[in-house]
Structure 1
Amino acid sequence: MVTEEQLAGWTGPSSATEQDKQELTERMIREAISAHEAFKGFSFSIYAKGSYANNTNVKTESDVDIVVECEEVVYWEEVSPSEGGHPASDAYEGVWTPEYLREQISAALSAKFPGAVTSGTTAFQITSNTSRVDADVVPCFTFREYFPSGYYRQGTKLFKVGGGTIDNYPKLQLNNGRAKNTRTNSYYKKTVRILKRLEGILVDKGLADEQASYLLECLVYNCPDEYFLRSTWRAVMQACLADIYNYTMRPEPTEDSDRWLEGNGVKYLFHFTQKWDRASVHKFANAAWNYMEFE
C-alpha cells in the first residue's frame, strides 16, 4: 500500500538543481531571441508554458516549453460567422509570414545553441547538456476567437511544417491552474505531482501504459475543488481517482456543459482530435486505484 508519508513525499516539484537548469535554459532562449537582429523593433512575447510554467513538473519531466509569439499579426475566427463579432480591419501586409517566423527563430536558436537545434513539425527542439535541460521552442502568432458581442478569447495559432494549424490557449491554462491552486490552498498542483509520480511507477512496473503529462494535469483539473481539501493525501487521491474512473467509464456526455475540458477551459479533453481516449484513461485509473489498494 502507498502510505500517507510516501504521498506527501511525492507532492514536491523537481529538485533545486533541475530548477536551476530549467531557469538557465529559459533565460538562454530569451537571450537568443532578444539578440537576433530580425526581431528588433517588432512586438514579440516570449513565455514558458506546460508543466514547467505551471509548476507541476517532476524530476522525470525536467524539459521546458517556451512560446515565441509574434504579436505583429493577429489571426482570428468568429464563433458564429453569420453573427460576426470581429471589427473591420485591413489585411496584414508585413514580413511576418509563418515561414519567415520559423526561419528567423531557427537562425536565432542555432546561433545561441550551435549543433543542438532540430526542427520538428511544430516546435524546435534544443538538446540538453550538463548545464541545461531539453527544450521545445514553439513559434506561433496571436490568435483571437470572436463572439457576436465583440468579446474575444485570446490564444495562439501555430502553423505546422507541411500544412495544418493548431490553436491553443497556454495563458488561459496557466491562469486557470493558478486560480484552482489558490482555491484549493495549493493542494491542486501537489495532487498533480502525486499523480504524475504514481503514473511513472505504474509504467516502470508494467502495470499501466504511459500517459501524457498534460493529460494527467487536465484530469486532476476537472476534479471538484472540495476533493483537494480532504484531511489526508490518500483521501484526496481516492476521491480524484474515483472521479476519473467513473467519468471515463461512461460514454462522452451529450450536453456540452457536462463534458470535461482541458485546463485552458476551452478545448474538450476527450475529442477525436486528441492523442488519448476515454478507454485508455479508464484503464489507467483502474490500475492506479488498484496499486493504491483502495476499496
Structure 2
Amino acid sequence: MSRNWDQTLKDWAETIDATDEERGSRAREAIKEAIRSASNLKHKKIDVAVTGSYRNNTNTRADSDIDVAVVLHDVAFYAFPADGSVTQEMLGLQGSSYAFDSFRNDVEAALRAHFGASNVAAGNKALDVRASGARLDADVAVFLKHRRYTGKKTAAGEWEYFDGVELRPRNAPALRVINWPDQHYKRGVAKNEATNRRFKRVVRIFKHLRADMAAQGDLEQKSAAGQVSSFVLECLVHNVPDTCFNLEDGGYMKDTKAVLSWLLRATQPGADSSALTEVSGMQPLFHGPARRTPEQAYAFLKAAWRRVRGAELLPR
C-alpha cells in the first residue's frame, strides 16, 4: 500500500512529547549535580547547559540522547585576525597551567564518581553517560570558552569579539572544534518566527526523512542518509529563503518540495555553495575541519526527493 505522504509529513513535523523533555531536563540536572559534587570543580566558573536539538527544539524521537555542554569560563581559547591587528600580547592575555585536558579529565572523573565508572564511556569528542530510569542518555561535551576577535573596535573603544565554545578531540588534539550555541539558538528562533514556525517543523521532517531512508529506503537512500548529520540538515534548511515556507495551510508537502528544490539547486554539481552557513552564521557550512561537503548534501537531497516525490524529475 502506498504511503500517505501528506499525513506522514504532518506527523513528522510535530515536536516530541513532554515526557521526553522532562527526561532531558533530568539528565542536565544530574550532570550539574555531578559537577557540583566534585571538590576540584565546585569553585570554578562552570556552565552546564543543554545544547543541540533539545535546546533548539528540533529534536525527534530518533534523537535518543541529549547533548549537554560543560563549559569552563575561567580559561579560554582565542582566535585573532590574520592581519595581526589584535594579538594575545597586545591584550595582555596570560596562559594558564589549568588547561583543556585537565578540565576534561576532572569532568570525566566527576561523572564517573557520580554515575558509576561503568556508566560513563569516553569518546573522542564527548563523554557518553548512559540512561538510568527516567533519565535520557547524555552526550557530555567539555569545552573552554572561545573568543574570536574581529580586529574592529566597539563604540566604547574596546576590541570587538564574539563568544563561542571550543574543544579539542582526544584523537586529534591540534584540531579546533568551535561551536556557537548562543548564536545558533537566537538565529534559529528568529528564522522560526519569520516562517510562522515552519522552519523547525521542516527540520524535524528532514530528520525523520533521513531516519526513514536509513531504515526502509533502497540502497541509494540508505547510503545517502548516512552521509549527513542532523546538524547539517538543520543548517541546510536554515539557509533556505523564508518564501519557501508556509506555502499551504494544514500541510507540509508544498514546503518540503520547495525546500528540497532550493537546496538541490544550491548544492548541485557546479553550484557555488560557499555562501551556505551554519545556523549560527559564524562559519561556512562546508569548511575543512568538519569534513562536510556539498556533494554529500546533494546526494542526500537527491535521494530524499526520490523518496518523497517518486519519479518526478529533479528541479533544475
Verify the 8 A CA contact 1:218 1:261 in the aligned structure 2: yes
Summarize deviations over 1:177-201 as a string: whole Å, max 9, x none. Answer: 1111121121111110011111111
Aligned partner of 1:145 in structure 2 is: 148
Aligned partner of 1:122 in structure 2 is: 125
Matches within 5 A, 1:43-192: 43-84=45-86, 88-93=91-96, 95-114=97-116, 115-149=118-152, 150-162=159-171, 163-164=173-174, 165-192=176-203
Cα distance in structure 2, aligned partners of 1:30 and 1:183: 34
Aligned partner of 1:264 in structure 2 is: 280
Aligned partner of 1:251 in structure 2 is: 270
Cα distance in structure 2, aligned partners of 1:90 and 1:233: 52
CA shift for structure 1 position 240:
0.3
Cα distance in structure 2, aligned partners of 1:170 and 1:267: 12
Instruction: Give the letter for the 2:195 counterpart.
Output: T
SS of corresponding position for 2:13: coil
Matches within 5 A, 1:13-28: 13-28=15-30
Q: Using CA pairs under 8 Å that are at least 6 residues apart, name the structure with larger relative contact order, 1 or 2.
A: 1
Verify the 8 A CA contact 1:22 1:62 in the aligned structure 2: no
SS of corresponding position for 2:134: coil
Verify the 8 A CA contact 1:260 1:270 in the aligned structure 2: yes
Summarize deviations over 1:241-276 as a string: whole Å, max 9, x none. Answer: 00111111133628x5xx101112122112333343
For residues 160 and 293 of structure 1, do their structure 2 counterparts lie closer, same or farther at Cα, with a shift above 3 Å needed? closer
For 2:214, which of 203, 206, 209 is the aligned residue? Answer: 203
Summarize deviations over 1:28-49 as a string: whole Å, max 9, x none. Answer: 1111112222122221111111
Cα distance in structure 2, aligned partners of 1:154 and 1:243: 32
Instruction: Give the letter for the 2:121 counterpart.
Output: T
CA shift for structure 1 position 85:
6.8
CA shift for structure 1 position 2:
4.3
SS of corresponding position for 1:261: coil
Cα distance in structure 2, aligned partners of 1:121 and 1:196: 24
Verify the 8 A CA contact 2:28 2:48 in the aligned structure 1: no
CA shift for structure 1 position 109:
0.6
Verify the 8 A CA contact 2:266 2:272 in the aligned structure 1: no
TM-score (norm 2): 0.86
Q: Quick check: 1:222 aligned with 2:231?
A: no
Q: Quick check: 1:194 aligned with 2:196?
A: no
Instruction: Give the letter for the 2:205 counterpart.
Output: I
For residues 272 and 82 of structure 1, do their structure 2 counterparts lie closer, same or farther at Cα, with a shift above 3 Å needed? closer
Instruction: Give the letter for the 1:88 counterpart.
Output: L
- Gapped regions of structure 1 (runs ≥ 5): none
Cα distance in structure 2, aligned partners of 1:38 and 1:189: 40
- Gapped regions of structure 2 (runs ≥ 5): 153-158
Cα distance in structure 2, aligned partners of 1:206 and 1:4: 18
Provide the alpha-carbon RMSD of the alignment. 2.0
For 1:279, which of 295, 307, 313 is the aligned residue? Answer: 295
Cα distance in structure 2, aligned partners of 1:90 and 1:271: 29
Instruction: Give the letter for the 2:135 counterpart.
Output: R
CA shift for structure 1 position 81:
3.7
CA shift for structure 1 position 212:
0.9
SS of corresponding position for 1:138: strand
SS of corresponding position for 1:286: helix
Instruction: Give the letter for the 2:145 counterpart.
Output: T
CA shift for structure 1 position 20:
2.2
CA shift for structure 1 position 68:
0.8
TM-score (norm 1): 0.91
Summarize deviations over 1:192-241 as a string: whole Å, max 9, x none. Answer: 00111111111112331323111111111111112122114111001100
Aligned partner of 2:8 in structure 1 is: 6
Cα distance in structure 1, aligned partners of 2:304 and 2:247: 19
Aligned positions, number: 291
CA shift for structure 1 position 23:
1.6
